[in-house]
Amino acid sequence: MSNYRYPRPDASEITPETVWQSRRDWMKSAGLAAAGTAMAGLSGLPAMSFAAAAKTSAGALAPLPGIPSKEYVLMEPVTPFKDASSYNNFYEFGMDKADPERNAHTLRTSPWSVRIEGEVVAPKTFDLDALRKLAPLEERVYRMRCVEGWSMVIPWVGYSLSALLKQVQPTGNAKYVEFISDVQEKNMPGLYSRSIDWPYVEGLRLDEAMHPLTLLTMGMYGRVLPNQNGAPVRLVVPWKYGFKSAKSIVAIRFVEKQPSSSWMKSIPSEYGFYSNVNPEVSHPRWSQATERRIGEDGLFAPKRKTLMFNGYGNEVASLYQGMDLRKNF
């Protein structure tokens, strides 16, 4: 298990507004300016502020700033917006990594609402504006890991999912939380694929859903979510493989029994309910021991070792105390 924990950098190492500063300025303040040009050339990281990079690449995406989190910070280079928004899994828009960016412009994101139901005392429906105002928006820089062996570091905008779930008062029967993505037959060309029984469904144990790291997400890089990244509202669960972070959510349901997620139904031999990042448990078709960081495709960029729980073990390992994580994969 990794001993990694979110560092709390000194002012001499990083300016208070961590995400909005220029990466070049950050390197200068840390005494790394001499190496900056070479690093940018190898990794593809832009020497500009993340806000500027998002504006340049995202076009008309509306601003959605969050208060930079002092707790959820990574001292790692952030994946360029152009990579994070063009290399995606969003199978409602196609199976190829480039399909979501190419096809998701058809996604209708307004009006939008999310209903919360099931084993709750007070079921409610929230429109997008109400969701954004429910709790202060934070900007959290999370490491993300895909089951296919690649990873990114992304500044997300949202707040802990628990702030929303507490609004409906779960009953004593609520043991799990199920997330259901939207189905727009005329707007999602990937629905014609038989790879998944639509709508896309994911689930978490209740304590996982209520964990502070679990983020109800409405933006990235200081702007609203691009369609291809799960607009207008999605889940981000950074210690699990990326497919657990459901996109374009329209319903959240509290249930008593463990739900069957879409990939569990589709390929049960390969995808389990928990899907925690675990380098010691190989996917049946490939190892999970290493990963390729998107945006660091330079000639000398080696693969990284995959961290247990994606590096968030100090925060979440206690959730699985006593469990065999080889069987509960």
Residue-wise pLDDT tens digits, 64-88:
999 999 998 898 999 999 999 999 9
Q: Report pLDDT for 57.
A: 53
First vs last C-alpha separation in the chain: 16
Tell me the per-residue pLDDT of 207-221, one tens digit each, with 9 for 90 and over.
999 999 999 999 999
Residue 70, token pair as written in the block:
């002092």
Q: Which phi and psi angles does 236 have, rounded to 5°? A: -135, 115
- Residues 218 and 131: their CA atoms lie apart, in Å, by 9
Q: Under a CB-based contact definition with an 8 Å cutoff, are residues 158 and 215 in contact?
A: yes
- Residues 86 and 245: their CA atoms lie apart, in Å, by 17
Tokens 């078709």 belong to 285
> What length does the chain have?
329
Q: Report pLDDT for 194.
A: 78
Q: Report pLDDT for 301.
A: 77
Task: Residue 170: count other Cβ atoms within 10 Å of its Cβ.
Answer: 20
Bigger pLDDT: 57 vs 95:
95
Of 82, 23, 37, 143, which Cα lies nearest the Cα of 295? 82
DSSP of 7-22, one letter per residue?
Answer: ----TTTS-SSTTTSB
Q: Report pLDDT for 92.
A: 97
Q: Report pLDDT for 242.
A: 97
pLDDT at position 90 over 70: yes
CA atoms within 13 A on the CB side of 152: 24
Name beta bridge partners: 235. Answer: 216
Q: Under a CB-based contact definition with an 8 Å cutoff, are residues 320 and 8 in contact?
A: no
- C-alpha angle 96-76-233 in degrees, rounded to nearest 5: 50
Q: Under a CB-based contact definition with an 8 Å cutoff, are residues 134 and 194 in contact?
A: no
* Mean pLDDT score across all residues of the chain: 85
Of the listed ranges 5-9, 127-131, 139-143, 254-258, the least confidently predicted one is 5-9
- C-alpha angle 217-177-222 in degrees, rounded to nearest 5: 0
**Which amino acid makes up residue 12?**
S
Structural domains of the chain, with CATH: 23-320 (3.90.420.10)
pLDDT at position 94 over 70: yes
Highest mean pLDDT among 6-10, 41-45, 154-158: 154-158
Q: Name residues whose C-beta falls within 8 Å of residue 26's C-beta, 6 or more positions apart in sequence.
A: 14, 15, 18
Tell me the per-residue pLDDT of 19-70, one tens digit each, with 9 for 90 and over.
333 333 333 333 333 233 222 222 333 333 344 444 435 558 999 999 999 9
Residue 189, token pair as written in the block:
């060309």
Bigger pLDDT: 284 vs 229:
229
In this prediction, residues 124-139 reach a mean pLDDT of 98
